[in-house]
Amino acid sequence: MKMSMLTSEDAVAQAMAEAKGPLVIRGGGTRTVGRPVVGEVLDVSGLSGVTLYEPGALTLVAQAGTPVAEIESALAAENQRLAFEPYDLTGVLGTSGASTIGGVIATNASGPRRIMAGAARDFALGVRFVDGTGQVIKNGGRVMKNVTGYDLVKLMSGSWGTLGVLTEVSLKVLPSVEAETTLVIDGLAADQAVLAMSRALGSPFEVSGAAWVAGQVWLRLEGFEGSVAYRASQLKTLLAAFGDIAEMQVDWRTVRDAMPLHGADAVWRISVKPSDGPAVIAALPKGTDTLMDWGGGLVWAGHSGGDIAATHSAVQAAVAAMGGHATLIKGPDAVRSAVPVFQPEAPGVAALTASLRHRFDPNGILNPGLMAA
Amino acid sequence: MEMPIPDSDVLARKARVVERLRSVLPADAVIDDPMETRAYECDALTAYRCPPMVAVLPATTAEVSDVLRICHEEGVPVVPRGSGTSLAGGALPTADCVILGVARMNDVIETDYDNRFIRVQTGRTNLSVTGAVETDGFFYAPDPSSQLACAIAGNIAMNSGGAHCLKYGVTTNNLLGVTMVQMDGTVVEIGGAHLDSGGLDLLGVICGSEGQLGVVTEATLRILHKPEGARPVLMGFDSAEVAGACVADIIKAGVLPVAIEFMDKMLIEVCEDFAKADYPKCGALLIVEVEGSDAEIDAQLALITDIAKRHNPVALRESASADESARIWAGRKAAFSAIGRISDYMCLDGTIPVSELPYVLRRIGEMSEKYGLPVGNVFHAGDGNMHPLICYDANKPGDLELCEEFGAEVLKLCVEVGGCLTGEHGVGIEKRDLMTHQYAPADLEAQMAVKDVFDAKWLLNPAKVFPLAVSEPRRGAALAAE
């Protein structure tokens, strides 16, 4: 298969303008998600580097191919971080390589802190991208509040390279924290776990992570040391009825990267309202491994063997009935070619998205079919 | 401000349009008497007025759908209106338009504390969303100054912010889902009580689209538990430069206050005069508010005041009581009224990188002398969202134009230093013609392509956001196709 390595926005624009057929847009190559696309690979990981970082203004601008690790280490040097906690899919997908910031924004990849701080899309202040005709477009900027014209930054976030190829992103960053602790409640079934997490998230104590892993509820508190200690003690009192509560340091990458599901043949990422999390789990076939993040609102499910396509249809049907969306993050190519990997949209919405794709990519060359056939 | 020439063909069919609207709405929901339509002739940008052809006040999503379908069939432009508090002219009518007011749609549809959301009809005011949940300890975070009056519909259209968005984000960060009616009457559900989109993030582009993509009739909003307490500290400094440096140091220290508000010398005096907030007489003032339990607040304020002391404050006063906190905020919140009492004014809304604050303030001061118009500055310092208030005399011929010229120069400066034209008020008609300073033709074309998709005939609030000359081919083509 043909592959082009591009290192500048001009080169991306030229490649788009001259493209003869479908293009597979690749950053770090870590996200083999969606309906498989056959076409020339356009590798944009060469557009790399932090171009502006103002810690006092909480803003950072980077070329889209910049590795997330490079950005995180630049931020760490100033005691700051990406608050939306982008996940790393290499473990789930069995891929290698370095996740890029463009890939993170293009897929709106957010981790456990999303529930308090917001998603990747909430921290994207501005983008530059090249549309399917080779036109370079900018939107947003590098300031924290900006309502000048339509918010195409949000539209690009989570568009998986189907509307344009990101070349540069501006991000809002936040201070790191002095202290972190996790409260752990053992032995809760999914429905009890969601009740406990809802109680915690509905309190004034600023829980920055609420997950259910292997029968344990994890509640993360972050901030200044005294404040963390105070809130931990308050939450212990509030949640006493749910059982013994231990306080410990845990590795939140377990939840962020869905570590318990690594090695499964098929992995789903399902967003529903938190109280529907247990019903999603109940609708999955026996032998499915699950964990809940976002207080129950995000279910990760992994399954090996069985009829993946049938399970997938059942999961999406159940989620459609309750409101939300299920994505088959990992599955055999044959299955992903045959099923709607992303949650099918209602007809009115599907018409709008199809029409938007056609406007930004009239020739159908940008990851065609990746999100919807 | 130039507006499109009213479509004489539409005006000639007024009686027919009114009759059709009456066939789908209660009699008192269709207003066509020229005396009564005057009530809708402007929003909070009062310098521009134009009574609409008709105003309608639907009460349900189905009625909104009927109205839009009829207007779509008749080729009549529709200007959606929340509470009419836009400072940018977002709800300014044209003489040939139907104003669609959402004021009768103000019900709470569902409140769910376990899942932390509320679903409301969008005519409900911002403050009454919090009002519906506060006895249970919850609140809706975005808090524009006009929150007593402004409607959620308008908040969504303009992606409104507020003083406390440094911590909680603006409307788009707190909006989970909408029911929206498209111009042809189609009703779509976008988002819901769950987080994020499974497909393209349409919610993200609808929020802030200034009523040009559809009419949002219901919204699902994120609600949060109220913090245990909040307390402001007031700091006075010799100059804006020093106050700006203090803000940067606070942010770099890892404290994230819920609000950092800045007022300059002129605003301090005017607000003090009006609200008797007991402000110090000095060059610049900061109000920094933090939240949490008493002990948490003490710890954060200790850190903040330590930083402030390194900048030689001329005043440093931690609020000691709820009453004192209210007084500290009273001055800031009264800023627009206070200046309005002494002069006509235009409120700008440009945002700049916070590192550029001292430079931009100095340049604004120089422009004030050049134009001979006084200017006061109040703004959300933590996020660089400025609100220069330029004073002028509406009764003095040429003064408004001079003020607009001044304002345009300030906004161009904001863009020049890496900022933008508007941080939370929206473009409306006010900044429409400046859009080409921030965006290249291709950037605007991409935005207009989105409107093409949602409203192919360009009938929804068509004369806003984009420079008239830029949108003319689209509006013109839509007219010619009839």
Interchain pair A346, B205: CB under 8 A: no
Q: Kindly list the residues from chain B whose CB atom is less than 8 angstroms away from the CB atom of residue A352.
A: 188, 202, 453-454
> With contact defined as beta carbons under 8 Å apart, do B234 and B202 qualify?
no
Do residues B234 and B219 share a domain? no
Residues in A closer than 8 angstroms to B293, CB to CB, are 230
Interface test with chain A among B117, B134, B164, B194, by most A beta carbons within 10 Å:
B194
Q: How far apart are the C-alpha atoms of A41 and A23, rounded to whole Å? A: 6
Q: Positive or negative CA dihedral for A7, A12, A15, A18? A: negative
* B225 to A226: CB separation less than 8 angstroms, yes or no: no
Check B418 against A142: CB less than 8 A apart: yes
- Residue that terminates a domain, selected from B428, B449, B465: B428
- pLDDT values of chain A reduced to their tens digit, one per residue, 373 residues: 688 899 999 999 999 999 999 999 999 989 889 999 999 999 999 999 999 999 988 999 999 999 999 999 999 999 999 999 999 999 999 999 899 999 999 999 999 999 999 999 999 999 999 999 999 999 999 999 999 999 999 999 999 999 999 999 999 999 999 999 999 999 999 999 999 999 999 999 999 999 999 999 999 999 999 999 999 999 999 999 999 999 999 999 999 999 999 999 999 999 999 999 999 999 999 999 999 999 999 999 999 999 999 999 999 999 999 999 999 999 999 999 999 999 999 999 999 999 999 999 999 999 999 999 7
Look-up of token digits 């002391």:
B309
Instruction: Choose the final residue of a domain: B281, B311, B335.
Output: B335
Q: Residue B468: is its pLDDT beyond 70?
A: yes
- In this structure, are residues A97 and A28 in contact, taking their beta carbons and an 8 Å threshold? yes
Q: Please compute, for residue A218, the number of CA atoms within 13 A of its CA located in the half-sphere on the CB side.
A: 25
Mark whether B182 and B280 lie in a shared domain. no
In chain A, which residues have their Cβ closer than 8 Å to the Cβ of B171? none
The confidence score (pLDDT) of residue A131 equals: 98
Query: Cα(B479)–Cα(B476) distance, rounded to whole angstroms?
Result: 5
Structure tokens at B328: 């500290």
Residue B461 maps to a domain:
no
Tens digits of per-residue pLDDT, A137-192? 999 999 999 999 999 999 999 999 999 999 999 999 999 999 999 999 999 999 99
| A340 neighbourhood in chain B, CB within 8 Å | none
Distance from CA of B130 to the nearest CA of A (A): 15
A108 touches B: beta carbon within 8 Å = yes
Q: CATH topology of A179-256 equal to that of A259-338?
A: yes
Contact between chains at B353 and A142 (C-beta distance less than 8 A): yes
**pLDDT of the residue at B335:** 86
Residue to mutate among A33, A148, A355, with most B CBs inside 10 A, is: A148
Same domain for B24 and B139, yes or no, is: yes
Please check whether residues B112 and B6 belong to one and the same domain: yes
**Which CA distances in Å does A236 have to A230, A287, B116, B423?**
10, 33, 21, 41
Per-residue model confidence (pLDDT) at position B480: 60
**Does A78 lie at the interface with B, CB-CB under 8 angstroms?**
yes
Q: Does A347 touch chain B (CB under 8 A)?
A: no
pLDDT band at B354 (very low <50, low <70, confident <90, very high): confident
Shared-domain flag, residues B249 and B327: yes
CA–CA min distance A326, chain B (Å): 7
Q: Specify whether B349 is located in the same domain as B419.
A: yes
- Residue B244 reports pLDDT greater than 90: no
pLDDT of residue B380: 86
What's the confidence (pLDDT) of residue B357?
87
Vertex B5 angle, CA B1 and B8, to 5°: 155
Q: What interhelical angle do A225-238 and A190-201 show, nearest 10? A: 130
Asked if residue B250 is part of any domain, the answer here is: yes
Which residue of chain B comes nearest to A319, CA vs CA? B194
- CB-CB contact of B164 with B332 (8 Å): no
Over 70: is that where the pLDDT of B479 sits? no
CB contact under 8 A, B252 and A78: yes
- Residue B100, by phi and psi: left (phi above 0), alpha (psi -120 to 50) or beta? beta
Poorest-pLDDT segment among B79-88, B102-111, B323-332: B323-332
What average pLDDT score do residues B132-147 get? 95
Question: What distance in Å separates residue A5's CA from the closest CA in chain B?
Answer: 26
* B263 shares a domain with B314: yes
Residue A147, pLDDT score: 96
Average pLDDT, chain B: 94
Give the per-residue pLDDT at B162: 85
Beta strand B117-121 pairing with B215-222: antiparallel
Domain of residue B317 covers 230-335
CB B188 to CB A131 under 8 A? no
Please report whether residue B440 resides in a domain.
no
- Alpha carbons B217 and B478: distance in angstroms, whole number: 25
Please state the domain count of chain B: 3
Q: What is the pLDDT of residues B193-207, one digit of tens each?
A: 999 999 999 999 999
Q: What is the DSSP string of B127-140?
A: HHHHHHHGGGTEE-
* Average pLDDT score over residue span B346-351: 94
Higher pLDDT, B152 or B476: B152
Within 182-241 of A, beta carbons closer than 8 Å to B belong to 195, 198, 201-204, 224, 226-227, 230
Please identify, among B267, B301, B335, the residue that sits at the C-terminal boundary of a domain.
Answer: B335
Containing B35, the helix (H) or strand (E) segment is: helix B34-37
Give me the residue spans of the domains in chain A: 3-175, 179-256, 259-338
Residue of B115, B246, B422 to mutate for A, most A C-beta atoms under 10 A:
B115
Q: Are residues B295 and B353 in the same domain?
A: no
Domain A259-338 coded CATH 3.30.70.100: yes
Q: In what helix (H) or strand (E) does residue B245 lie, and over which residues does it extend? A: helix B240-252
Nearest chain A Cα to B434, which residue? A148
Contact A226 B440 (CB under 8 A): no
With an 8 Å Cβ cutoff, is A99 touching chain B?
no
Per-residue pLDDT at B402: 96
Residue B474 maps to a domain: no
Chain B residues whose CB is inside 8 A of the A155 CB are 200-202, 204-205, 450
A154–B contact, CB cutoff 8 A: yes
- Whether residue B34 has pLDDT greater than 60: yes
Residues B176 and B242 in one domain: no
CATH of the domain at B368: 3.30.70.2740
Q: Please give the DSSP secondary-structure letter assigned to residue A295.
A: G
Report if residue B31 sits inside a domain.
yes
Q: Could you tell me which chain A residue has the CA closest to the CA of B136?
A: A202
pLDDT at B176: 98
Q: Does A352 touch chain B (CB under 8 A)?
A: yes
Phi first, then psi, for residue B375 (nearest 5°) are -140, 140
Given a cut of 80, whether residue B230 has pLDDT beyond it is yes
Q: Is the pTM of this model over 0.90?
A: yes
User: pLDDT tens digits for B99-115?
Assistant: 999 999 999 999 999 99
Residue B211 and residue B79 share a domain = yes
Percent of chain B scoring above 90 in pLDDT: 85
- Say if B127 falls within a structural domain: yes
Residues B185, B319 within the same domain = no
Contacts of A75 (CB under 8 A, 6+ apart): A53, A60, A81, A82, A173, A176
What's the CA gap between B191 and A325, in Å, rounded?
10
- B79 and B205 share one domain: yes
**What is A3-175's CATH topology?**
3.30.465
Angstroms from A262 CA to nearest CA on chain B: 22
| pLDDT in the model for residue B355 | 84
The pLDDT score that the predictor gives to residue B481 is 55
Contact B418 A143 (CB under 8 A): yes
> Mind listing the pLDDT tens digit for each residue in B438-458?
999 999 999 999 999 999 999
Fold adopted by A179-256: Alpha-Beta Plaits (3.30.70)
Burial code of B350-377, b = ≥16 C-beta within 10 A, e = fewer? bbbbbbbbbebbebbeebbeebebbbbb
